A = this chain, B = another copy of it.
């Protein structure tokens, strides 16, 4: 959908003439009360659920969660997926032409924040004729957007489902983002963010960024279970896997092969400037900041009911961070449900099937559905 704007951004600038790519699933009911907005994290899009006809492996990124008969049941809910501004999957982003200059945005694309995305999502809802959301939901950075909805538009959201998220990034979180960004920015093919004109892509940097990210998405346990110290040669069946090749540059362990593959794949489709923008949006998110660091004060504005979910082995956004949110909401006597799921998969667990996790979300949305039936 095309928007004339201008949309004012937190950085002090604004963006005009922009597109938001979105998809919807299910049917909006007569009183427009069954809409659920799903917000995405770093590496996802508006394509939340379903498949594209004739396209193999085109399942939406949360297809296990959203669909007919699924925890977020599209037989009852009207679900909206939207690609955020600055991303690289259809909405206006750094690889598009800036209509004001006629040149590709590149590194000049404005810095966008979680709050800006929420404003853009609200404008999309206006255009769709939806005043109030039955629920807003998301995992990780998507959970930050869901939380921010309850603060920016408290009267437009009845429920917020915040999964594997945090009230802000820790120093360690920022540190990992920064290393990934440095890998991209110092890649000679980055050209200060204007690589499009040079016909190159900073793939080296993107690969490193993705490898780092991937390590932080998985738990130590699941890495040991899946890969352990298994040699690549053993997997390839070349040897019984007892012999080291003694090489510093070749793949020796299976975990190396896996990470290189993930890095290569990512560098083929993800935009480098988008990576910088989205990790920065993560860094900047900190609703307590304008309240002297007091999260309870910041969340006083929220009137929605909340479901929070965390995963015990998630060391990127640990359960302790979700508990901070729970505590701050309870300080304000808000209605909060909280589940800490003992899944082994680390941060990635929010995208994966787990019977307890899916059960918790399903039950919660049954409750949400009762409010408009």
Which residues of A are at the interface with B, using a C-beta cutoff of 8 A? 10-12, 107, 111, 168-172, 174-176, 178-179, 181-183, 185-188, 193, 204, 207-208, 211-212, 215, 218, 220, 223-224, 226-229, 242, 244, 246-249, 252-253, 255-256, 259-260, 263, 273, 276-277, 279-280, 283-284, 286, 289, 315
State whether A249 touches B186 (Cβ < 8 A). no
State whether A179 touches B193 (Cβ < 8 A). no
Residues of B within 8 A of A246 (CB): 10-12, 111, 284
State whether B185 touches A249 (Cβ < 8 A). yes
Find A223's partner among B171, B181, B256 (CB 8 Å cutoff). Answer: B171
Which residue of the partner chain B has the closest CB to A257? B178
State whether A215 touches B256 (Cβ < 8 A). no
State whether A179 touches B215 (Cβ < 8 A). yes
Find A171's partner among B174, B186, B229, B263 (CB 8 Å cutoff). Answer: B229
Find A248's partner among B208, B220, B226, B277 (CB 8 Å cutoff). Answer: B277
Find A175's partner among B259, B273, B279 (CB 8 Å cutoff). Answer: B259
Which residue of the partner chain B has the closest CB to A10? B246
Compute how far the CA of A204 lies from the CA of B284 in the bound complex, rounded to whole angstroms.
Answer: 26
Compute how far the CA of A106 lies from the CA of B325 in the bound complex, rounded to whole angstroms.
Answer: 52
State whether B249 touches A178 (Cβ < 8 A). no
Residues of B within 8 A of A242 (CB): 289
Given A10-B246, A178-B260, A212-B212, 15 further pairs, Cβ under 8 A: A10-B244, A12-B246, A171-B228, A174-B255, A175-B211, A178-B211, A179-B211, A179-B259, A182-B208, A183-B183, A183-B208, A186-B207, A229-B289, A246-B284, A248-B276
Compute how far the CA of A218 lies from the CA of B223 in the bound complex, rounded to whole angstroms.
Answer: 21
Compute how far the CA of A86 lies from the CA of B188 in the bound complex, rounded to whole angstroms.
Answer: 29
Residues of B within 8 A of A283 (CB): 252-253
State whether A215 touches B176 (Cβ < 8 A). yes
List 17 A-B residue pairs with CB atoms under 8 Å apart, sorted by A's residue number: A10-B246, A11-B244, A12-B246, A111-B247, A171-B253, A174-B255, A175-B211, A175-B259, A178-B259, A179-B212, A181-B249, A186-B207, A187-B204, A188-B188, A247-B280, A248-B280, A252-B283
Which residue of the partner chain B has the closest CB to A215? B175
Pairs of residues from A and B, 10 with the lowest C-beta to C-beta distance, nearest first:
A11-B246, A248-B276, A171-B223, A111-B246, A171-B227, A186-B204, A179-B211, A178-B256, A171-B255, A172-B220
Compute how far the CA of A82 lies from the CA of B218 in the bound complex, rounded to whole angstroms.
Answer: 38
Instruction: Report the minimal beta-carbon distance from A368 to chain B, rounded to whole angstroms.
Output: 33
State whether A223 touches B107 (Cβ < 8 A). no
Residues of B within 8 A of A277 (CB): 248
Instruction: Report the minimal beta-carbon distance from A185 to chain B, rounded to whole angstroms.
Output: 6
Instruction: Report the minimal beta-carbon distance from A99 to chain B, rounded to whole angstroms.
Output: 21
Given A111-B248, A255-B175, CB of A168 within 8 Å of CB of B229 = yes
State whether A249 touches B107 (Cβ < 8 A). yes
Residues of B within 8 A of A256 (CB): 174-175, 178
Which residue of the partner chain B has the closest CB to A13? B246
State whether B211 touches A286 (Cβ < 8 A). no
Instruction: Report the minimal beta-carbon distance from A326 to chain B, rounded to whole angstroms.
Output: 20
State whether A171 touches B224 (Cβ < 8 A). yes
Instruction: Report the minimal beta-carbon distance from A244 to chain B, rounded to whole angstroms.
Output: 6
Residues of B within 8 A of A273 (CB): 248
Instruction: Report the minimal beta-carbon distance from A228 to chain B, rounded to whole angstroms.
Output: 6
